[in-house]
């Protein structure tokens, strides 16, 4: 497969970037990726990205957590060895529940938080020793970079991006296997 070409338009202001995204979207070009040094409020909406489902996973992980806590303590404290510890009623889970609630709460939060973070790492492909995918180191400091695939429309795309206020436009050969 031939190496595909992408265009890198670099901006120095997030407001300019936002309006550039809107005009590029209006021209029906597909934006591959945008690199910014900090979160730009409303950028995902302007790009038309689907909302995240991370909160839903967190809720489900929380449900797992409370189940683990309940099953664990029911087995240990009620089923396996229902000892009388300081007069606490260990006849059934419900009767002794108030003393289990702190643990149920903490495990719910623990599962929801940690599994959600791990999900985030997996979905966004982040781990230690991962090779950085940064096309231009300036984008971690004060530059914004928009990447658009080129399909024999180099000229019109360059014109459009130039008009949106890009300070620098580079055409890059992108080898898909590089990362």
70/99 with CB nearer another protein? 99
Least distance in Å: CB of 107 to another protein? 16
Contact 18, 34 (CB under 8 A): no
Report the alpha-carbon distance of residue 2 to residue 74 in Å, rounded. Answer: 61
Please give the torsion angle defined by the CA atoms of residues 164, 172, 12 and 47, in that order, rounded to the nearest 10 degrees: 60
Q: Which is nearer to another protein, 12 or 120 (CB)?
A: 120
The least distance separating another protein from the CB of residue 45, rounded to whole angstroms, comes to 11
Compute the least distance from the CB of residue 83 to another protein, in Å: 17
What is the smallest separation between the CB atom of 96 and another protein, expressed in angstroms? Answer: 10
- Given a contact cutoff of 8 angstroms between Cβ atoms, the answer to whether 57 and 115 are in contact is yes
Nearer to another protein (CB atom), residue 48 or residue 87: 87
Q: Exposure string (b/e) for 22-60, b if CB count within 10 Å is 16 or more?
A: eebeeeebebeebbbeeebeebeebbeeeeeeeeebbee
Q: Are 62 and 112 in contact (CB under 8 A)?
A: yes
Is 56 or 171 the residue whose CB approaches another protein more closely?
56
In angstroms, what is the minimal distance from the CB of 101 to another protein?
A: 7
Q: Which residues bind another protein (CB under 8 A)?
A: 55, 59, 87, 91, 98-99, 101
Kindly compute the dihedral angle of the four CA atoms of residues 147, 148, 149, 153, in this order, to the nearest 10 degrees.
-140
Cβ closest to another protein, residue 15 vs residue 142: 15
Distance CA 43, CA 155 (A): 26
């Amino acid at each position: 497969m031939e190496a595909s070409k992408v265009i890198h338009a670099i901006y120095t202001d997030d407001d300019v970037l936002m309006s550039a995204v809107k005009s590029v979207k209006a021209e029906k070009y597909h934006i591959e990726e945008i690199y910014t040094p900090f979160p730009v409020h409303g950028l995902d909406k302007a790009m038309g990205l689907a909302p995240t489902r991370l909160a839903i996973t967190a809720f489900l992980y929380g449900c797992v957590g409370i189940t683990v806590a309940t099953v664990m303590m029911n087995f240990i404290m009620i089923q396996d060895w229902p000892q009388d510890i300081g007069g606490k009623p260990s006849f059934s889970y419900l009767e002794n529940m108030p003393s289990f609630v702190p643990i149920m709460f903490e495990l719910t939060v623990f599962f929801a938080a940690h599994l959600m973070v791990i999900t985030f790492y997996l979905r966004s492909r982040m781990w230690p020793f991962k090779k950085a995918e940064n096309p231009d180191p300036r984008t971690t400091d004060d530059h914004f970079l928009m990447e658009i695939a080129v399909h024999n429309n180099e000229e019109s795309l360059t014109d459009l991006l130039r008009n949106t206020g890009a300070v620098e436009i580079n055409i890059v050969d992108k080898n898909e296997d590089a990362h």
